[in-house]
Amino acid sequence: MSLESPPEILDVRTVATSRLFEIEAVDLRFSNGVEVGFERLKGSAAGAVLVVPITTEQDVVLIREYACGTERYELGLPKGRVEPGEALMVAANRELMEEAGFGAEQFDYLAELTSAPTYSGQRTHVVIATGLYPARLSGDEPEPLEVLRWPLADIDQLALAGHCTEARSIAALYMARAHLAAKASG
Amino acid sequence: MSLESPPEILDVRTVATSRLFEIEAVDLRFSNGVEVGFERLKGSAAGAVLVVPITTEQDVVLIREYACGTERYELGLPKGRVEPGEALMVAANRELMEEAGFGAEQFDYLAELTSAPTYSGQRTHVVIATGLYPARLSGDEPEPLEVLRWPLADIDQLALAGHCTEARSIAALYMARAHLAAKASG
C-alpha cells in the first residue's frame, strides 16, 4: 500500500542553477520496485508567506503588480519570500508594509499551501492579518503597486470573473473566509 | 499609471535548462524609467489541465500520489500537462482516465489559474467533468494512485484541516462549488 511505503530516494543532484532557481534530479525506487527519475524545483528553505489582510469592514486588501511570468498586471494578495533567519510573522508584516502600505496588529496562522508538489518544493505559509494601520516600508518594487479593497463576501466574483487568477491567492481567500465564518459561528 | 503603461521588455534569454525546465532572464524597463532584471520559469506552451470530476452524488474525485517536490503523498485533483497539439478536453479526459480511472461525458471550462505569476509562466486550465463512467488508461504513473471521493459540500474541512495543500486544487474546488451553486440557483 503506497501510503505506508513511500519510495526510497536513491540519489539527489543539482542539474541546473540560475540566480534565483535551483533544479534537482531525483532518482526514486517505488515500493513495487519501479525506479523513476524526476526533476524538481527546489523551494527556498524558509518558504514564502502570503498575507490575507482584512479590514474592519470585512474587505480584503489586494495589490496589483506587473508579473514577469505572465507579462501582464496581476491582482493578488501581498506575498514574498521569508528571508533566512526571519520570523514568519515579521516577514508577513514586512511584505504587508512594503506591498500594501499597511502594518497589522494581529497575525493568525491559517495554513501551508504547496504549489505543483510533484515537481516543486515551494511552500507558502498563509497568514490572516487584522488590526490594519497605515505603515509603509520601501521594498524592491520597481514601481508603486496599486492597492485596492474587495469585499470578502464577494470573492466568488473575484475568482470566477477572472479578476484574480493566482491559485495561492484564491485558495487563501476562500480558506480565510471559511475559517472566519467558522470562528464567528462557533 | 501602471495599468496603462506596462514595462517594456528589453531582452529575454535562456539562462538555464534541464530535461523539464527552462529558466529565462528578462530585462524590463518600467514606465517610470526604472530598469530591472528578473528571472522566470518558462511555462509549457499549451499549459496544464486540472480536472474537477463530480459524481452524481456531488462528491469530488481526488487522487493521492507521491510528490517528489515535497517528498510525501499529496491529495489533489487529477491534472497534467496538455501535450503539443492535443485539444484541452481530450487532455482532460486522458488525465482523468490515467489518474482516476474515470472518463466523463461532459466537460465544462471553468477558469485559467496562474501559479506565482511574478516568476512563473505556468497556466492551468480548470475543467469540470460530469457524467463519470469507469474507464482506465495506462499513464506514466510508477505505482497505482489511490482514488477517493470527498463531498463537495465539505471542502472547507479538506483544505483547513490540511488534507489537501495544493493551491490549484483548493482554488479549483472552491471555484467549482461556487460556479455550480450559482448555476443551480438560477
Question: What is the rounded end-to-end Cα distance, in angstroms, of chain A?
Answer: 38
Chain A touched by B170 (CB under 8 Å): yes
Residues 6+ apart with CB under 8 A from A115: A122, A124, A167, A168, B115, B116, B166, B167, B168
What does pLDDT average to over chain A? 95
Torsion-angle region of B49 (φ positive above 0: left; ψ -120 to 50: alpha; else: beta): beta
**For the stretch B44-67, what's the b/e string if a residue is b when 16 or more beta carbons lie within 10 angstroms of its beta carbon?**
eebbbbbbbbbbeeebbbbbbbbb
- Give me the residue spans of the domains in chain B: 2-41, 48-185
Residues of B in contact with A6 (CB under 8 A): 66, 71-73
pLDDT tens, residue by residue, A129-138: 999 999 999 8
Contacts of A49 in chain B (CB under 8 A): none
Q: B126-145 burial by CB neighbour count: b if 16+ within 10 A, else e?
A: bbbbeebeeeeeeeeebbeb
pLDDT at residue A127 tops 50: yes
The confidence score (pLDDT) of residue A104 equals 98
Which chain B residue is nearest to residue A31, measuring alpha carbons?
B143
DSSP of B69-133, one letter per residue? Answer: TTTEEEEE--EEEPPTT--HHHHHHHHHHHHHSEEEEEEEEEEEEESSTTTB--EEEEEEEEEEE
Q: Considering CB atoms only, which of B2, B19, B118 is closest to A146?
A: B2
Alpha helices in chain A (DSSP H): 88-100, 155-160, 167-185
Euclidean distance between CA atoms A81 and A139, whole angstroms: 12
Is the pLDDT at A3 greater than 80? The verdict is no
Q: Which residues of B touch A18 (CB under 8 A)?
A: 15-16, 23, 25, 39
Angle formed at CA A132 by CA A130 and CA A133, multiple of 5 degrees:
160
pLDDT of residue B186: 79
Report CA Rg, chain B.
19
**Are the Cβ atoms of A174 and B171 closer than 8 angstroms?**
yes
* Three-state secondary structure call for residue A166: strand
| Shortest distance, CA A100 to any CA of chain B (angstroms) | 15
3-state secondary structure of A160: helix
Q: Which of residues 91-130 of B touch A (CB under 8 A)?
A: 110-124
ipTM exceeding cut-off 0.85 for this assembly: yes
Name the residue type at position B182: A
| Residue A73 to residue A94: CA distance in whole angstroms | 22
DSSP character string of B25-80: EEEEE-TTS-EEEEEEEPPPTT-EEEEEEB-TTSEEEEEEEEETTTTEEEEE--EE
Per-residue cell: B102: 474515470
Q: Residues 56-75, chain B: which have Cβ within 8 Å of A? A: 64-74
The pLDDT of A99-103, averaged and rounded, is 97
CB B64 within 8 A of CB B148: yes
Q: Convert the pLDDT of each residue in A66-76 to its tens digit.
A: 999 999 999 99
Q: Rounded to an integer, what distance in angstroms lies between the CA atom of residue A110 and that of residue B161?
A: 10
Return the pLDDT at B43.
Answer: 86
pLDDT exceeds 90 at position A177: yes
Q: Per residue in B112-141, pLDDT tens?
A: 999 999 999 999 999 999 999 999 998 888
The three grid cell numbers given for residue A174, joined into one nine-digit string: 476562500
The whole-number pLDDT of residue A1 equals 41
Distance from CA of A169 to the nearest CA of B (A): 8
Beta strand B123-134 pairing with B102-114 = antiparallel
Q: Which CATH number fits domain B48-185: 3.40.50.300, 3.90.79.10, 1.20.1560.10, 1.10.10.10?
A: 3.90.79.10
| pLDDT means over runs of 10, chain B (186 residues) | 78 97 97 96 93 98 96 97 96 97 98 96 97 93 94 96 96 97 90
